[in-house]
Every structure is written in structure tokens, then in C-alpha cells.
């Protein structure tokens, strides 16, 4: 007990000692500290006088150029060395005259060697000139002969088959041209509705060689049937044209495409394997990504009861099932609810959100559904649909043109590539060196862009008129079907009718003429530049 009390006393003492040792000096000094006099602010420093500018430095006089140094006289060459003494100082190391004796070269080695003059031998005597002999006898040239048939017409000046055109004076197919009563040159027979060469003999009443010998006058083929008025190639083997109204190398197949060829480009085999590949890409875009996918998405949304209801607040309520039991239909339904919002992926869930108007408008624009709330909104929404279609398929400066999602729709570079492949297959290995290739490619791309624009307008209007924002799924399905019908109709009009083929041919020829003019001008400018600078 006493020990515990003692310990407490010691502890209290130690604490008091520590407080005294550390705190008492500070407290004691505080009693003697008095505040000093506050510092009064002084006068503001006034700025001094500005430094005045000095005198302007006067530039010195310009040094005048001196008198140019007159060039001296040009160095006059001396006399050429001609076996004598050189006009320049010194003597040549080797004498300028001929020496029959050589000199022994002293090798640079230790010791001494005997030095003897090299003994010259007898110079080689020249032989006799080779006699030229007699020239080969010229002989006589081949006998000129005579003309093969003495200059008379083959059938005494009468046309083939008794003076009538082939097959009783009509066109190659019963009096009509190869395509609906017109020939490849504007509705007449091969040569203006007459026989193959104007109703006369094979060469207008002359012999096949124009009555002259093979090397006097015209060639053995002269004006034969093979150089008549057949389309481009000049052969009358088929007398028909391809789909563009031209003959391909003179032996193309029929210019009229069948209904199957028009509906499915992959069935056209005339352009080779590349043309078939291009046709598969075009058919895939038209029937799968352009029609089947949006049609299935719209119908699955319609089946799920997906619809939009405008609320009094201005927002919208999304009705419909959240998902479908069928996995295939649910896949299309889920894709239908996806859209782009300010460049980001967005989703419009059914039954769980009240989206604001701008989200609903963006969603409907993405589905290419026209908004007919007003005339202005209708025009604006249709134009957005057209612009979107052209950017996806033809605008190489659009960022979306190269996106993976766009490539998945067989759009963008794949769409351009399909047209390139089909024309490469048509024009062959020299396609890229031919202006006809670029002209046909330009016309095909122009027709494709026009078809896309018109189809987008029809699809958007049909979707907005049928479904709108009330049942957008049904509108999307109807719009996809309308776009397909318009696209197929345009193809039938261009490739399935005489007028359409002629218009396409006319456009291609016009573009080709322009390209040729540009290339010829460029060649002339280039050649002129080379000649100007001495590279010609």
C-alpha cells in the first residue's frame, strides 16, 4: 500500500518537473513581451521621367558597284604535236617518232642484271587482200500472176441468194434486227436493211479482191463480210450485242438480258469469274442486307408489339415485349431496337423507358421512316434517308463509308469494288488502260447512286405512311419491300428494254468521248513539255 502511494508521488513529481522545465520559461517570457510600434505606410513611389529618344541614325551612303573587270584574251592553243618539237616547254618523255627497237625495263630489285637491247625480229609481212569474188546472181522476181478471178463479180454481180438480203432480204432473224426489229446500227439490217453488203455481191458487185491481184489494190479480204458493219467486231457470226448494246470482240451473246439475269446479277456469266463474284456481291446487297434483314427486323418488332406512344409531357412511352422466345426472331428484334445517337451506339428498350423526343426522332431517322407531322419535317426526314444511303454506298469521304458495320451490309468499298470487278471482267486484262472501262464504270456508279436515291425516297415515304412512330416495325418492313420493288423496276427499265439500253450506251459513249479528250490533251501537254525541255 505504501509502495503504491510512493510510486504515485514520484509520478506526479516527474510530470510537474517536466512541465516546469518546458513550459515555465515560455510563460515567464510572455509577461515581458510588449507589442512594438506599428509600421506606418510611407509615401507612394512616384515614377521618374521617361528616357527621351536619341537621335535618328542616318544611314550611310550606298556603295556604288565598281567597274566590272574586263575579261582577258582567251587561251590560244598551241600547235598540235606532230612528231616534232612541242611548242610547250620540255620534251615529251617518249619520243614522238616510231622506234623499231624496244628498251629493256630494269626491274626494281637488288643486284645487277645485264642490260641488253631487246632484239627485234622480222616484222610480220602482210598477206594478200581477200578477193571479193562474184556477186550472187540476182535472178528474177516471182512472177506477178494474175488476179484470182479476172475481175468479175462472183455471182455475176447478183447479191447472195438471188439478190435478196440474207434470208429473203430481211434482217438476220426474219426481217427484224437482233433486238426487237432493229439491227445493231439503229433499226436497219446489217447494212441499211439490204443484203450483207447493200444487196449486191459480197463486195458490191466486185470480186472478193476488188478485181486486182493479191498485192495490187486491196488485200485478199478487201471489203469482205468480215469487215462489214457488225457491231465493233465486224463479224456476222451472231450479229447481236451484249447488255450495253455493243458487241464484245464481234462475237458477243445476245444483247437482251433474260429476266433471271436482271433479277440476279450473279447468273450473268459473260464477264467471267470476276463478273460472277461482282454479281454475288450485288445480289447479296440487294436481297439480303438491303431487303431481308430490315424486313425481318421490322416484322419481328411488329410481332413483339413494339410501338411508340407520345405522352402529355412530350416524352414517349415504348410499348412491346422486352424479348421474344424464338432466338432467331429475338435476334432481329434486338437489332431493331439499336440505333446511333450522336455517333454512339444506343438502345431503345421496350416497356422500361420514356425517351425524350430527340431520341425518338433519331431512332426513326435511323430506321429511315419519314416523319409526316409537317411538310418540313417530312422533307427533312426523307432527305436524311437519301443522304444516309448515298454516304453508305458511294461517298468515299464519309467516315461511315469505311466502318465495319457498313462493310457488313456489303456497302462502302465492297459496293464500289463490285462495280469495278464486273467491268474488269467485261473489258479484260487491258481494262485499266482503256477509257471505255472507266466510262462504263462511271455510268454504272451513276446508275447505282440514282437507284439508291430513288429507292431510299420510296422506302422512307412508304415506311412513314404505313407505320410512322405508331407501329414503326410494320413501316420498316413495308419500306424495305417498296425499296426492293423500285430497285428491281429501275434495273428492268435500263437493262430489259431497248430504250434503256440505248440510253445507257449513249451515256457511256458520251463519257468515253470526254475521257478520251482529256487523255489526248494531257498527252499533248506532256509531249510538248518533254520537247520543250529537250526530253522528246
Q: Tell me the pLDDT tens digit for each residue of 492-536.
A: 999 999 999 999 999 999 999 999 999 999 999 998 888 888 776
Report if residue 514 sits inside a domain: yes
Count of domains forming the chain:
2
What is the sign, positive or negative, of the torsion defined by CA atoms of 228, 233, 239, 243?
negative
Per the DSSP assignment, residues forming a β-bridge with 309 are: 317
Report if residue 237 sits inside a domain: no
User: Distance between CA 448 and CA 139 in Å, rounded?
Assistant: 70
In terms of DSSP bridges, do strands 316-319 and 307-310 run parallel, antiparallel, or are they unpaired? antiparallel
Per the DSSP assignment, residues forming a β-bridge with 307 are: 319
The residue assigned the cell 592553243 is: 77
pLDDT at 251 over 90: no
80-102 average pLDDT score:
52
Q: Around Cβ 292, how many Cβ atoms within 10 Å?
A: 15
User: What's the pLDDT tens digit per position in 404-441?
Assistant: 989 999 999 999 999 999 999 999 888 898 999 999 99
pLDDT band at 278 (very low <50, low <70, confident <90, very high): very high
Report if residue 340 sits inside a domain: yes
pLDDT at 208 over 60: no
Average of per-residue pLDDT values in the chain: 72
- Is residue 292 domain-shared with residue 382, that is, in the same domain? yes
| Enclosing domain of residue 503 | 468-535
DSSP assignment of 19-52, as one string?
Answer: HHHHHHHHHHHHHH----PPPPP-PPPPP-PPPP
Of 308, 329, 182, nearest in space to 245 by CA: 182
Q: Where is the domain boundary, 367, 392, 417?
A: 392
What pLDDT is recorded for position 239? 35
pLDDT band at 30 (very low <50, low <70, confident <90, very high): low
Question: Residues, the chain, total?
Answer: 536
Report if residue 46 sits inside a domain: no
Between the alpha carbon of residue 489 and those of residues 116, 263, 369, 481, the distances in Å are 110, 10, 22, 12
Report if residue 22 sits inside a domain: no
Q: What is residue 309's three-state secondary structure?
A: strand
pLDDT at 48 over 80: no
Q: Are 275 and 425 in contact (CB under 8 A)?
A: yes
User: Distance between CA 255 and CA 226 in Å, rounded?
Assistant: 20
Between the alpha carbon of residue 387 and those of residues 49, 287, 358, 441, 486, the distances in Å are 71, 21, 19, 22, 18
What pLDDT is recorded for position 407? 92
- Is residue 300 domain-shared with residue 384, that is, in the same domain? yes
311-339 average pLDDT score:
93
Report if residue 502 sits inside a domain: yes
Q: Where is the domain boundary, 392, 423, 446?
A: 392
Report if residue 527 sits inside a domain: yes
pLDDT at 392 over 80: yes
Report if residue 501 sits inside a domain: yes
Q: Are 158 and 201 in contact (CB under 8 A)?
A: yes
185-209 average pLDDT score:
37
What pLDDT is recorded for position 529? 86
Identify the weakest region by mean pLDDT among 105-114, 129-138, 186-195, 383-392. 186-195
User: Distance between CA 231 and CA 245 in Å, rounded?
Assistant: 9
DSSP state of 529: H
Q: Where is the domain boundary, 392, 413, 431?
A: 392
Amino acid at each position: 500500500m505504501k509502495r503504491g502511494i510512493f510510486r504515485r508521488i514520484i509520478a506526479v513529481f516527474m510530470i510537474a518537473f517536466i512541465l516546469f522545465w518546458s513550459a515555465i520559461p515560455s510563460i515567464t517570457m510572455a509577461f515581458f513581451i510588449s507589442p512594438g510600434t506599428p509600421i506606418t505606410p510611407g509615401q507612394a513611389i512616384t515614377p521618374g521621367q521617361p528616357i527621351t529618344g536619341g537621335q535618328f541614325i542616318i544611314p550611310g551612303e550606298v556603295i556604288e558597284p565598281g567597274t566590272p573587270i574586263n575579261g582577258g584574251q582567251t587561251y590560244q592553243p598551241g600547235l598540235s604535236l606532230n612528231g616534232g618539237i612541242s611548242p610547250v616547254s620540255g620534251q615529251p618523255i617518249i619520243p614522238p617518232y616510231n622506234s623499231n627497237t624496244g628498251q629493256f625495263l630494269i626491274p626494281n630489285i637488288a643486284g645487277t642484271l645485264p642490260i641488253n637491247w631487246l632484239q627485234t625480229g622480222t616484222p610480220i609481212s602482210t598477206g594478200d587482200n581477200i578477193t571479193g569474188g562474184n556477186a550472187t546472181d540476182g535472178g528474177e522476181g516471182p512472177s506477178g500472176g494474175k488476179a484470182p478471178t479476172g475481175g468479175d463479180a462472183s455471182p455475176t454481180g447478183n447479191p447472195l441468194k438471188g439478190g435478196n438480203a440474207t434470208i429473203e432480204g430481211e434482217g438476220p432473224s426474219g426481217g427484224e434486227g437482233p433486238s426487237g426489229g432493229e439491227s445493231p446500227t439503229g433499226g436497219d439490217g446489217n447494212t441499211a436493211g439490204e443484203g450483207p453488203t447493200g444487196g449486191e455481191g459480197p463486195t458490191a458487185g466486185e470480186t472478193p479482191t476488188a478485181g486486182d491481184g493479191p498485192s495490187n489494190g486491196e488485200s485478199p479480204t478487201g471489203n469482205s463480210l468480215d469487215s462489214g458493219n457488225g457491231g465493233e467486231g465486224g463479224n456476222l457470226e451472231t450479229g447481236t450485242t451484249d447488255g450495253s448494246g455493243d458487241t464484245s470482240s464481234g462475237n458477243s451473246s445476245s444483247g437482251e438480258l433474260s429476266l433471271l439475269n436482271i433479277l440476279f446479277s450473279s447468273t450473268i456469266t459473260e464477264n467471267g469469274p470476276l463478273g460472277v463474284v461482282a454479281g454475288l456481291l450485288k445480289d447479296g446487297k440487294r436481297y439480303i442486307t438491303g431487303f431481308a434483314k430490315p424486313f425481318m427486323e421490322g416484322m419481328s418488332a411488329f410481332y413483339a408489339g413494339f410501338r411508340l406512344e407520345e405522352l402529355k409531357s412530350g416524352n414517349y412511352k415504348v410499348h412491346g415485349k422486352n424479348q421474344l422466345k424464338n432466338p432467331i426472331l429475338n435476334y432481329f428484334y434486338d437489332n431493331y431496337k439499336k440505333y446511333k445517337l450522336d455517333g454512339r451506339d444506343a438502345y431503345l428498350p421496350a416497356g422500361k423507358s420514356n425517351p425524350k423526343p430527340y431520341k425518338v426522332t433519331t431512332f426513326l431517322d435511323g430506321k429511315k421512316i419519314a416523319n409526316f407531322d409537317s411538310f418540313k419535317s417530312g422533307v427533312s426526314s426523307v432527305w436524311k434517308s437519301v443522304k444516309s444511303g448515298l454516304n453508305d454506298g458511294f461517298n468515299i469521304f464519309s467516315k461511315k463509308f469505311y466502318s465495319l458495320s457498313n462493310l457488313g451490309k456489303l456497302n462502302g468499298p465492297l459496293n464500289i469494288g463490285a462495280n469495278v470487278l464486273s467491268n474488269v471482267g467485261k473489258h479484260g486484262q487491258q481494262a485499266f488502260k482503256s477509257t471505255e472501262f472507266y466510262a462504263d464504270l462511271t455510268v454504272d456508279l451513276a446508275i447505282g447512286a440514282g437507284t439508291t436515291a430513288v429507292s431510299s425516297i420510296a422506302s422512307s415515304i412508304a415506311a412513314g405512311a404505313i407505320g410512322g412512330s405508331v407501329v414503326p416495325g410494320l413501316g420498316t418492313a413495308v419500306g424495305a419491300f417498296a425499296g426492293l420493288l423500285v430497285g428491281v423496276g429501275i434495273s428492268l427499265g435500263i437493262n430489259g428494254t431497248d430504250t434503256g439500253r440505248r440510253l445507257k450506251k449513249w451515256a457511256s459513249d458520251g463519257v468515253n468521248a470526254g475521257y478520251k479528250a482529256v487523255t489526248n490533251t494531257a498527252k499533248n501537254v506532256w509531249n510538248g513539255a518533254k520537247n520543250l525541255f529537250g526530253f522528246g
